[in-house]
Chain A
Amino acid sequence: ILNVEQSPQSLHVQEGDSTNFTCSFPSSNFYALHWYRWETAKSPEALFVMTLNGDEKKKGRISATLNTKEGYSYLYIKGSQPEDSATYLCAFNSGGGADGLTFGKGTHLIIQP
């Protein structure tokens, strides 16, 4: 059974502040690490797919890093805005094939004006 852990479980951040949270995953049999944003009443939206140790990806004010040797990834949000409020999910793929993703429980982010 693969174990993907995310911390913290929830986070309150003031608008304009920067924040980050963590995803830890098995360091063996790594193939890919996915980040999704899930807003209430919407479908999960893909942010990043990361495959290489040391990968760093950026999309606007959001960026992510990957350490496959120690089994963790960080997601950073710079200058948080109210529209960033969502649950952020990471998901691990160990097979490389069509088998599905193992998700963490998510970090629920609330941006306070």
Chain B
Amino acid sequence: SQTIHQWPATLVQPVGSPLSLECTVEGTSNPNLYWYRQAAGRGLQLLFYSVGIGQISSEVPQNLSASRPQDRQFILSSKKLLLSDSGFYLCAWSKDRGTDTQYFGPGTRLTVL
């Protein structure tokens, strides 16, 4: 069976510090991978998606970047965090298309102070 891992579970970082969140998927190959964020009072917002190694699509301009160095690894980064980067970050994977269920990881709670 497939599992998806995220770490860390919680993170408190000062403004201006770098960020690296990691997501890995087990039990499947060539998954589509996604990063979502839920900011306070808002719905889940798609940040990035990837259909393969090195292929990243960004949905909204922001202070964040994503990379996919391996088939089942997805990393969310920032060089300098802003207060507005605080939120709950979820990684998800799916098989192929928009009709396929997306399976979510446990999430990372990021607080930028």
Chain A interfacial positions (CB closer than 8 Å to B): 4, 31-32, 34, 42-44, 46, 49, 51, 89, 91, 93-106
Contact = CB atoms under 8 A, between A and B. Distances in A.
Contacts of B67: none
Nearest to A105: B43
Contacts of A31: 98-99
A62 to B, nearest CB: 15
Interface stretch (B14-22, B45-53, B68-76, B77-85): B45-53
A44 B98 contact: no
Interface string B85-113: 00000101010111111111111000000
A28 B99 CA distance: 16
A109 to B, nearest CB: 16
Interface string B6-26: 000000000000000000000
A74 B101 CA distance: 19
Contacts of B96: 98
A104 B45 CA distance: 9
B44 A32 contact: no
Interface of B: 32, 34, 36, 42-46, 49, 51, 57, 59, 90, 92, 94, 96-107
A74 B34 CA distance: 26
A100 B36 contact: yes
Nearest to A51: B99
Chain A contact surface mostly? loop
Given A49-B100, A94-B98, A99-B57, 4 more contacts: A49-B101, A97-B98, A98-B98, A106-B43
Contacts of A49: 99-101
Contacts of B103: 43, 46
Contact of A96 (B51, B90, B97): B97
A103 B103 CA distance: 14
Nearest to A4: B43
B27 to A, nearest CB: 16
